[in-house]
Structure 1
Amino acid sequence: MVQGRSTSGLRQHGRKIALLAWPILLGQLAVIANGVIDTAMTARFSSTDLAALAVGSSIYISIFVGLNGVLHALSPVIGQLFGAKRFTEIGWEVKQGSWLAAFLTIIGSFILLFPQPLLALANTSPEIQEKVTLYLHTLMLALPASLGFRIYASLNTAISRPKMVMAIQIGALALKIPLNSLFIFGGLGLPAFGGPGCAIATAITAWLSFLLSLALMRSLSSYRTFALFGSGFVKPSWQAQRALLKLGIPIGLSYLIEVTAYTFMALFIARLGDTAVAGHQITANFGTVLYMLPLSIASATAVLVAQAIGAHQMKAARQIGYAGISLAAVLSVASGLVIWHAREWIVRAYTPDPEVIRVALPLFLFIAFYQLFDAIQVTTAFVLRAYKVAIIPTLMYALALWGIGLGGGYILGLNPFQLSMPGFLQGPAGFWIANSTSLALVGLGLVQYLRTVQNKAEAKAAMKD
């Protein structure tokens, strides 16, 4: 009977997670589709521009995701306040998050304005470096709007209302397609910018999305409960900023570590030539699309766990966490099998270049293989953040993804020590083998640590009761 009730509870929580996850998934797919469209359209402009896009997007994503991750500290904070029904405090936290976004914009803009140290790692041709620099300078204009919209998305997701975010993201995607065509290939009197044209389109859609989100928060009655507007000017509070940074910096670092495990792969693989990095770019781009499924489940799970913690329902929080991890794992295995059988069709949909296809096809084995471990690690990490725990997971990410994944990939892929090893372990495949191994290790480590955190949280709650 106990086992039956446990299984029934997992299914019930799984359904709640799925209902919250599907609009998050569609919104995230719309965001990632921007990158897919950029890659596919630029690939048809020139292989040089595709290589520049691979390097430029790797740098920008590393910066944006790291800063974006710091703002993700708002989600568990707002989620717990919402679960505790402390609604007016949510508006104050959102305003503090806005100050934090402004500070982060200054940091990110400086890096995008002077990207030369990062470009030196790629060791690419002067032509590619020039295109990458223009790409990054243009995206500097999009950064404040992108971070501003992240606050709106964090608020809506934390209060279980992600559908409006989804609608804006889908609308931005629909606008991105014609804007990409205009700025990449030229038209209406404008020259063809190639790869950097993607950045111009991104900046336009980012600002439109942000301005629309501001208008909605100000005009819709459903937001008035949170005192977002009309409650007076709020100065940045060091206590609030410190609390957000204490949680947000480890989250941002974990995002940065996870993303740079892939983006630095592109920078290193660029040393092997334009064809190698183009094949890797296609594989990494599609892998990112697949990642959106467990990421959406992770986000939905974390929201429900945070709300349960805020309502002092600690046993429910544990059940919701494990339900989300199980759901993400099962669906990711199924998607991995489908992708492996459809790999040739997928690669050819990206590019007609036979050399790029030759490089990309074998790499899809790793996409199919690491889906399970990727799903487990991201969902578990999000559940830990709902408990406001992020430092230890970040250290695990650094050791596994940078030390084993990127470091091991560098040794296998580039073979700087001239080791005697089979050919299939070298080149881009070497990086993907090491990365897959690191994901498996970090996933197992996070699950074990989650049990410790849950036990401590439940014991602390029991003492208060």
Structure 2
Amino acid sequence: MPTTPRPLLLTYRAEFTDTLRLSIPIIIAQLGVVLMGVTDNLFVGRLLGAVPLGAAGLANSLSFLMSSIGVGGLSVVAALVSKANNQNDPAAVNRLFRAGLRVAGLLSILLGGLSVLLAYNFSLFGQTPEVTRLARNFMLILSASLLPLLVFVAARQLCDGLRYPRVAMAITLSALGINALFNYLFIRGVGPFPALGLMGSALATLLSRTFMAGALLVYIYRTTHFRAYLKTGLTSLASTSEAWIILRLGIPGGLTFFFEVATFSLAVVIVGWLGEAQLAAHQIAINMASVTYMMATGISSAAAIRVSAAVGQASREGAWRAGVAAFLLSVSFMSVMAIVFLTANDWLVTLYIRDSPEVMTIAASLVIIAGFFQLSDGVQVVALGGLRGLSDVNVPTLITLFSYWIVALPLSYVLAFPFGMDAIGVWIGLLAGLTIAAVLLTWRFFRRVQRTTLFVDASMANP
């Protein structure tokens, strides 16, 4: 006789529990990183007005674009650490950690240099003279913060891969408080601190990121949690092969992240051509969408770690269950966020600005569209995490390139200008690209899991 199917919740209860236990600290840590940019914008918008808000938003977006290759590329290390740990290979964990730090240093030099070059050529983006001047100086300071940011990201991969995500969470939350405090002190010039205006906000970010990198490295080398993986009896220096593995798998992963971030950063430029009010409104709405997106990336990171752990144990069923659990959690969370965006859009906008009715009206409309693409955004980022756990990086990069640069950006421009839909047209284009990416990446993940040959040598890149 056929057996009665078990309810989905009972079938995946253990999977949900483990994914949540791992993802919640990662989500909070990811959220804390994004909230630094949100904090900058909140202080700038409230204390300095719409034009500095637009400049800070543009500089933050472009700086995040430069760092996205490094942040996305280094994220593969956690999956590799998880796999090595599940294969009982502490020496490999040691080498991966040290190689990750070396790659972080290399990428910070390359990406920091590109960021400075971009800052000195800000006029290419066609913004107003005042926005260009303010954004250039803001971005130069942010360029200096790339080194501590990427060192923190590289060190965090060891913690996440070994399932100690609360470490980075606590440090990030502390840094968030430091960032908020120094935003207020440096912008206003409280007590002995000089009134630096917009540049004070950028300096606060630099100090916060430096604290994050230093605190996490001190914790790793001082606590007993990681001692077994950092023994001098193991390989004391990262071999060139580990660094090349991280670059081989990480650069396509970083480019995948880059293509998505670049789409939203270039959307900022397109909106800037429409006017300062549209630019400020876009920045408000994109900040909100970035918060929910980064929370979904926490679930995505948990998916990558759990899928790679299953690969290390040669368990196709484990990889499948880890992926399904992550998808269901992301869809549930992003559905709630969609409801919030659709029903509380006006109130959310007032958190950023209250003295510009035009900006508030435009932003409220954009937040509604952001509500509609929450599900697509949550699904595509979890699919990317699952594929990263399978060391499948090349085809997902092409999918994101197609979805965002072939579909989303051209469609955004066409709807905004020839069709006269203004900033709303830009956001409809973004929605279309995210939806296509979500469908293709999800199909790719489940297709790859079904291939039994995947578990013969899961460290190899996809064909």
**Residues 131-154 of structure 1: per-residue CA shift (max 9 Å, x gap):** 222212212221111111101211
Q: Is the 8 A contact 1:74 1:155 kept in 2?
A: yes
Tell me the CA shift for residue 117 of structure 1.
7.2
Q: Is the 8 A contact 2:95 2:238 kept in 1?
A: no
Q: Determine whether 1:436 maps to 2:431.
A: yes
Q: Which residue of 2 aligns with 1:390?
A: 393
Q: Which residue of 2 aligns with 1:284?
A: 286
Q: Which residue of 2 aligns with 1:418?
A: none
Q: Determine whether 1:452 maps to 2:447.
A: yes
Q: Which residue of 2 aligns with 1:19?
A: 21
Closer, same or farther in 2 for the Cα pair 1:104/1:374, shift >3 Å? same
Q: Is the 8 A contact 2:34 2:291 kept in 1?
A: yes
Closer, same or farther in 2 for the Cα pair 1:129/1:248, shift >3 Å? same
Q: Is the 8 A contact 1:406 1:435 kept in 2?
A: yes
Q: Is the 8 A contact 1:92 1:228 kept in 2?
A: no
Which whole-Å CA distance do the structure 1 matches of 2:160 and 2:350 have between them? Answer: 36
Question: Pick from 303, 307, 310: which aligns with 1:308?
Answer: 310
Q: Determine whether 1:253 maps to 2:255.
A: yes
Question: Pick from 270, 273, 287: which aligns with 2:272?
Answer: 270
**Percent identity between the aligned chains?**
24
Which whole-Å CA distance do the structure 2 matches of 1:153 and 1:291 have between them? Answer: 19
Letter of the 1:224 partner, please give it: R
Q: Which residue of 2 aligns with 1:342?
A: 344
Runs of 4+ in 1 over 6 A off after TM superposition: none
Which whole-Å CA distance do the structure 1 matches of 2:77 and 2:374 have between them? Answer: 28
Letter of the 1:58 partner, please give it: S
Tell me the CA shift for residue 390 of structure 1.
0.9
Question: Pick from 120, 129, 135: which aligns with 2:123?
Answer: 120
Q: Is the 8 A contact 2:300 2:326 kept in 1?
A: yes
Q: Is the 8 A contact 1:132 1:196 kept in 2?
A: no
Tell me the CA shift for residue 334 of structure 1.
2.1
Tell me the CA shift for residue 293 of structure 1.
2.9
Tell me the CA shift for residue 235 of structure 1.
5.7
Tell me the CA shift for residue 367 of structure 1.
1.2
Q: Which residue of 2 aligns with 1:354?
A: 357
Aligned ranges for residues 230-249 of structure 1 at < 5 Å? 234=237, 237=240, 239-249=241-251
Q: Is the 8 A contact 1:258 1:397 kept in 2?
A: yes
Partner SS for 1:4? coil
How many pairs are equivalent? 454
Q: Which residue of 1 aligns with 2:461?
A: none
Q: Is the 8 A contact 2:416 2:422 kept in 1?
A: yes
Of 170-179 and 67-76, more deviation after overlay is shown by: 67-76
Which whole-Å CA distance do the structure 1 matches of 2:440 and 2:82 have between them? Answer: 26
Q: Is the 8 A contact 1:68 1:147 kept in 2?
A: yes
Of 382-391 and 349-358, more deviation after overlay is shown by: 349-358
Letter of the 1:69 partner, please give it: G
Q: Is the 8 A contact 2:408 2:432 kept in 1?
A: yes
Q: Determine whether 1:322 maps to 2:317.
A: no
Q: Which runs of 5+ in 2 are unaligned?
A: 459-463
- With the length of structure 1 as denominator, give the TM-score of the two structures: 0.93
Partner SS for 1:234? coil
Which whole-Å CA distance do the structure 1 matches of 2:317 and 2:362 have between them? Answer: 48
Which whole-Å CA distance do the structure 2 matches of 1:291 and 1:364 have between them? Answer: 14
**Residues 234-258 of structure 1: per-residue CA shift (max 9 Å, x gap):** 2651x32221111101111011111
**Residues 12-42 of structure 1: per-residue CA shift (max 9 Å, x gap):** 2012111111111222222222122111110
Which whole-Å CA distance do the structure 2 matches of 1:181 and 1:461 have between them? Answer: 52
Partner SS for 1:144? helix
Tell me the CA shift for residue 83 of structure 1.
1.5
**Residues 415-464 of structure 1: per-residue CA shift (max 9 Å, x gap):** 2xxxxx4x5xx1111111011011111111111111221122x2454799
Closer, same or farther in 2 for the Cα pair 1:49/1:288, shift >3 Å? same
